[in-house]
Structures are given as C-alpha cells and as structure tokens.
Structure 1
Amino acid sequence: MHTFLVDTISVLIVLGIMVLVHEFGHFVAAKLCGVRVEQFSIGFPPRLFGIQIGETDYCISATPLGGYVKMTGESMPGENMSLQGADAEAIEANKVDPGALTSHPRWQRIIIGLAGPVANFVLAIGLMTGFYMLHNEVPVYEDQAVTLDWVVPDSPAAKAGLQPGDRIVSFSHDANPTYQQIYEESALALQSLGQEHTVSMEVERGGQTLPLTLSLPDALKHDDFSPDEIGFIPVFQPDPVKVVSINPGSPAAKAGIQPGDQLITLDGHAFHSTEAVISYLQFRKGAPISAQVDHQGKLSTIAIQPAYDTANPPPAWRIGFTGSRPPFHIVQLPFPKAVAAAVKFNRQNSTLILQVLHRIVTHRMSINTLSGPIGIARQTGEAAETPGWEAKLKVMTFISLNLGILNLLPFPILDGGMILFLIIEGILRHDIDMRVKERVYQVAFVMIVVFAVYIIFNDISKLPLFTQGKP
C-alpha cells in the first residue's frame, strides 16, 4: 500500500510542475505584451526565499498548492492575494505606465489571462505525445486474433448472434483479424451510405465455423468511435481477473475480497478483465452476484451486492476493486501519429470535469464525490507506485488538463473570471467601478476558501482511518 510520504512527495512534485507551467504561460504572455512582471511565485504568500533577476522576483512561497505571477497594475484581491484596498492614485498612475497591465488594451490582457490555461493544455498534449512516441503501452490482445469475453445484450454484436467464447476467424476481408483491424473495417463500413452499415464475418464456436452479419447503426458514426461500441469485449488476458486493491467500504471489501484474490467466475461466467466485469454489472443493474473467488489457492463462493458509483465518471454499477493490467508491449508512434493520439486522448477526457460539475449543480451527484489536495495526493501516490510510465503520465496529463479547464470557468479570482470582466468592460466600453470589482473579488475569495476547507475536510473523512468499520 502506498504511504503518506509517497502521496505527499508525489503531489507536491506534480502540482509544482502544473503550477510552474501555468504561471509560466502568464509570464511569457505578459513579457511578450510588454507588461512588467514584479514577482513570479511558486506557492502563495508568505514568501520564503527567492532571487531578483532584473525587474522580477522569482521566489518560493510558504503555501505550496498554488502560485501566481504579480504584474504591475494588478490591484484586485485574488490577482495578487494581498486583499488590500485599491489605491485610486496608484490606479490612475498605472494607466499611464507603459509597463503596467492596466495600460495595455483589453485584448492583450485577455491573451495574458488565457495563456496560463493554454500552457496547461500544451503540457497535457506534450506529455501524452512523448508517451506515445517513447513508451506507448499497447495491450497484447489488440494485436492478436479476437476471442469474445463478453457480449453486451441488445447490442449490435448480440443482434448479430455473437456469443461469449466465440473466436472471430474473419471480419470483412480480414482473416483472423486483430482488434485494430476490426476497428478499421468497422469505421470504414460506417462511412457507407444509409442508416445501417453491414459487415460479413465468421466465428468459430464449438468446433464449427458460423457465418454472421454485423449491422452497425448510423448512431455509431462519430469521430470517437471504438470497437467497444459494437457491444463485445475481447479476452484481454488468459488468466482470471486478479484483484490489486480494494476501495475501503466498497461491496468487495464488505464481501471479504482481498488484494491478490482472483475472481474465477461471476454467476458462472468467467471474465478476463475489469472492463468485462463492469459491463456485466451494468447488465445485471445492481442485482446481487455470486462470485467464485480464489484466495491463496482456496476456492470459495461469496455473494456481492454491487453499488451504484457516482464518484468516478461515468456513473456505473461497481463492486469497488482495481484489477491487474493486461499484458502489453511497447509501440513507438511517429511524431504526427503521436500528436494525433495525444489530442484524441485529451479531447476524450476534457469533458469529464464539466460533466461532474453539471451533475453536482443538477443534484445528480453529491458534492462529497469531489476530491481536493488529499484526494489528488492519493491518486498521484498510487500512480507513482504503479509499474510503468502510463499511470504516471496519464495522471499528470489529467491534472494539467483539468487545471486548465477549471481556470477558464467564469468565476472571479480564476482566469476565466478576469477574462469575463474584460469582455463585459469591452462591451460597455468603459471600466467597471473599481470598488465593485474589489467587493466581488473579496466575496469570491472567501467562497473559494470556504469551499477549499470543505473539500479538504471531505478528503480527510474518506481516509481509511475514518472509513474502516463503517457499514
């Protein structure tokens, strides 16, 4: 199990990199626009130590989870974290100071505001581009002939007559097709005219070869189509699902499942991946399942009551464990393909935080599901101790991506709030009264502090120390 020390060190390193990149984006944009940068700080005040280079104080401050760039002319609480009242004379003086932020046109100030989140997006794409170029971990099953582990009822695959255990011996023009070839042929078939797109295929079942026809509905015709949407999950690995970790208080924990156990069958079905298990649980819609478990060589049958999990998007029926990864090999993509894969990965994950916020606002998800610094620390700690680079880079990418998105939200103190004020002022063709802006920022700052305290308290309540023994 990962330790508190690993969690702490990993989150400080990751957030430090994210904040450094974010603030560096603001810094570069400010310099290019001719704005004087007085201070570049990693962490919030009080200042601990630093060095003065030219007009800028580069420093490390005491509160590590954050940072800021202080530009001449900033006077709003939240922009310089001083919470000091605006000096009218200083504001007027800054308007004629060519190095002050407020003397520059609004479009330049908007660019400076956007530069931080954009830097996070560039970092997210850069991390995944490097991963795909140097250490792209491709599951072995994707390059092997496909045997079906599970077929989703009422899916196109089920309607075609596919069953678990079938081995696909031909798909369109490909003999013994790989998972990648099935994807390519399906995507090609979806480009044909009409509402239904068909592919001829053959499967081996019980020593016989059966011809089948797969119909793909027009609804599958979109940019992010994947073969999973056909409605089958291939055998990821020859062995049963092995449990790596258990979520405290989860159905699996209550049933007595332990790390190292193997799930031999669920309701008599043998599964070979957590993806197949999750898909089966959705089919069962929360009904109790009977699991045959191998614990240190001893078989036992236990009943498990799945729970509907809204804390981890997308919401789904789960039993609360992490399974072992399927075997993989390294494929190094050329730069253009690596960039395309990185952009696709970030696009697919960019809406998750917005979906979570929307569900909370519409009361379809509890605010208690949000994670703060402690929750993020646990995730980075787990990634740090996970073998391979994939988990580490994906966690860093996800944090950088969501840091950029959160900062674009139109809330005062955040970059998006500053940009919103500038847009409103541009429409009105005059500045909003400084006292009004100051009060708005002060209220927003207090709200942010209260929200942060609540989230941290919520994180602490989720620690194993406080969850053990709960029903």
Structure 2
Amino acid sequence: MILIALLVLSFLVFFHELGHYVVARMCGVRVEVFSIGFGKKLITKRIGQTQYALSLIPLGGYVKLKGQDDTQPLESLKPSLESDSYRSKTPMQRIAILLAGPAFNLILAFMLYVAVGIGGKPSLLPIVGEVKPGMPAFEAGIKPNDRIVSINGAKIRTWEELDSAIVNAKDTLKIEIERDTQNLGMQNLEVSLTPIISQAQNVFGEPIYRNLIGITSQRAVGIVHYQGLESLSFGLNETLKASTLIAQGIIKLISGAVPSSEVGGVVSIVSIIGKASQEGWVRFFIFVALISVNLGILNLLPIPALDGGHILFNCYEMIAKKPPNEQIAYYLTFVGWGILLFLMLLGLYNDIARIAQ
C-alpha cells in the first residue's frame, strides 16, 4: 500500500516537472537535470545537454533549468546574455514555463477522468426517495421511486446532474419522469414546477440559499458510462469541478471558515491512495485525479517558493519593466519557504492526531 502511494506521488510530481521540461525546451531553455526523486543520485544518464537521474528519495522529482536555482532565488532575477538560459527569456516565456507544471497536472487529471467516464463511474441515480409535503415536487405530483429522465429536454443520468439542473434553474422546469405502475407497467410522464429558494448547506457545512423542489435521493447507485465526446465533456467538467472545490477550500481555510485541523499531510495522502487502490481502478483513478488537481492548484498559490510566487515576480517585471527588488524578493522567498514548512508540519501533526484518536 505504501509502495503504491509513493509511486503515485512520484508519478504526479514527475508529470508536473515534465510540463516544465517540455515548455522550457520549446522556449529554448537548456534543462540541466531531470530527476525522478530527490537527494543522492543513484543512476544517471546524460542525453544531449540533459542529465537524467533516478534519485534516492522517491517522492516526486525536479528539473533544473539553466539560470534558475531555487536555492539562490536572487540569481534567478538577474538577466543573462546566454540564449539558452531561463534568465534570458521574456517574462511571458518564463510564465509559460512556470504554468506548464500545474497545467500538466490538470491535463493528467482530465485524462484520468475521461478514462473513468468511459469505464463507468459509480453514481447516485436520479431516483426519488422522499417527497416533502407542501414543496413544488409534491404539488406537481412527483412520487417516491420516480426516476427523473430529463429536465427541460436535457438528459439526466445522475443525481448530481439533477441537482445541478435544479440549482441553475431560472424559471419553470419541465421534468420528464419514469414511473413504475403496477397495472400499466413503466410510464413516462411530464410535470412542470417552479423551484423555491430556501436555506441549505454547502459542502463546507455553511448555510446558503439555493433552489429546492423538495425531494431526496433514494440512494440507489449505478454505473454510468460516458462515450465519445460525452467522455471528454465529463472529463473537463470533473476537472473544473475539482479545481473549483479545491480553490474554494483554500480560501475557506485562509478565512477560517474551515478549521486548520482539516489540513492533511503525506500520511493522509498515502492512506487515501492505499484504500482507493483496493476499491477498484475507477475509484483509484478518481482519487489520483483529485490529488493531481490539488497539486496543480496548490502550486499556483502566490507563495514565492512555489510556481505561483515566481509567476508573481514575472508579472511584476512585466508591469514595472524591471525585476523585483533583490532584497524584497529574498525575504519574500524566505517567508514562502517558512509558510510551506509550517503547512507540512501542520499536516503531519493532524495526521498523527487522527491516528492517535
């Protein structure tokens, strides 16, 4: 289980670094080292101007670009006359190189979600459980065990699609339902209703106001397949949904809406991946895709030790027409590494606390 988790984490970071590598080469930047793993290099092979290495600590990897050195951040701010140096490139080219890592993580997540869609995702089916008296669904004649087939002509295959259609409704909904009657067998009926706005809770447990029609799920689960262009649409929607959820979670964490005890570390990740690997390839792919999105979004945070921080420096250079002040950049980078270390220790502390419970 631990070995699988380490391999997955290494592959995700490798794919992230592959993004930096590919775009750096496209921009004419020399890649001096491409390592799988950190620490002491166990196996090395030089191909062209790049040294490829397998290193001791199997947690991810890194690429070292000519003219870019995270251990000496001030050096990366100084211009260079060498055409194959990272420092000789325009701010836009450098931003493209920096964005490529997170972008590759999102692309990987998209491909995994597409595979899940084609293979079949276990989903809650749009079958009604309870109908609340006095609510629009009750008044329209919807009954328990009815299956929602379509809303306003759009096919509904999962409870999530049903919920999304209700939440985004602007006016009256035309709902096609499939009902199993004892005497007449399966019947297709159409009802019209207008959702009401009422208080509910979001995924973070916060009170919100949203459209409701007064039904609950029967909790029936089925395998839903997406073929052809549908699988691409499914993959894109799942990637966007995961990205939005993670970004919202970060904002809620910073604002205090989500407690710091929810922050997890590498132990939690290893545990989740290990459990997912035992529950079939579909669930495994879903969790790996989610972690890949998480890695991509977190690297875009404007912390100088991350890709987002370097992007911020380059944006400043584009606007001010000069590199950031070296001393300020140095202190910001130092603070950035401090923030990352704090988050790592917090995640580890929370992991240990959960195990001890």
The TM-score with structure 2 as length reference comes to 0.81
Offset of 1:200 from its aligned partner? 7.6
Structure 1: which amino acid aligns with 2:106? F
Offset of 1:379 from its aligned partner? 0.7
Query: Any idea what the Cα deviations from partners look like across 1:178-202, whole Å, max 9, x if unmatched?
Result: 963999999999999x833445869
Q: Structure 1 vs Structure 2: percent identity of aligned residues?
A: 28
Name the structure 1 match of 2:337: 445
Name the structure 2 match of 1:435: 327
Residues 135-174 of structure 1: matches in 2 within 5 Å?
135-137=119-121, 146=127, 148-151=128-131, 156-163=136-143, 165-167=144-146
The alignment's C-alpha RMSD in Å is 3.9
Distance 1:425 1:182 in 2: 48
| Cα 1:152–1:404 shift into 2, 3 Å | farther
Residues 54-93 of structure 1: matches in 2 within 5 Å?
54-75=48-69, 79=70, 83-84=71-72
Residues 265-414 of structure 1: matches in 2 within 5 Å?
326-328=221-223, 331=225, 333-334=227-228, 336-386=229-279, 388-414=280-306
| Cα 1:366–1:201 shift into 2, 3 Å | closer
Q: Indicate conservation of the 8 Å contact 1:201/1:212, yes or no.
A: yes
Structure 1: which amino acid aligns with 2:273? T
Offset of 1:158 from its aligned partner? 3.9
Equivalent residue for 2:314, pick from 410, 422, 426: 422
Distance 1:112 1:351 in 2: 23
Offset of 1:207 from its aligned partner? 7.9
1:462 counterpart = 2:354: yes
1:125 counterpart = 2:18: no
Distance 1:96 1:455 in 2: 43
Q: Indicate conservation of the 8 Å contact 2:151/2:173, yes or no.
A: no
| Cα 1:361–1:198 shift into 2, 3 Å | same
Q: Could you say what secondary structure the match of 1:451 adopts?
A: helix
| Cα 1:173–1:16 shift into 2, 3 Å | closer
Distance 1:353 1:190 in 2: 20
1:102 counterpart = 2:87: yes
| Cα 1:236–1:61 shift into 2, 3 Å | same
Query: Any idea what the Cα deviations from partners look like across 1:138-177, whole Å, max 9, x if unmatched?
Result: 65956xxx5x3223577542443545x4546998999xxx
Structure 1: which amino acid aligns with 2:140? A
| Cα 1:409–1:459 shift into 2, 3 Å | same
Q: Could you say what secondary structure the match of 1:444 adopts?
A: helix
Which has the larger helix fraction? 2
Offset of 1:49 from its aligned partner? 3.2
Q: Indicate conservation of the 8 Å contact 1:35/1:101, yes or no.
A: yes
Q: Could you say what secondary structure the match of 1:95 adopts?
A: coil
Distance 1:440 1:169 in 2: 54
| Cα 1:13–1:190 shift into 2, 3 Å | closer
1:37 counterpart = 2:13: no
Name the structure 2 match of 1:282: none
Q: Indicate conservation of the 8 Å contact 1:190/1:197, yes or no.
A: no
Structure 1: which amino acid aligns with 2:120? N
Q: Indicate conservation of the 8 Å contact 2:102/2:295, yes or no.
A: yes
Q: Which has the larger radius of gyration?
A: 1
Q: Could you say what secondary structure the match of 2:37 adopts?
A: strand
Aligned residues: 341
Offset of 1:218 from its aligned partner? 9.0
The TM-score with structure 1 as length reference comes to 0.63
Residues 215-294 of structure 1: matches in 2 within 5 Å?
215-217=193-195, 230-237=213-220
Q: Any unmatched runs of 5+ in structure 1?
A: 1-5, 220-227, 238-325
Structure 1: which amino acid aligns with 2:239? N
Distance 2:262 2:51 in 1: 39
Query: Any idea what the Cα deviations from partners look like across 1:188-242, whole Å, max 9, x if unmatched?
Result: 99999x8334458696789899x994413498xxxxxxxx9654345454xxxxx
| Cα 1:36–1:127 shift into 2, 3 Å | same
Name the structure 1 match of 2:205: none
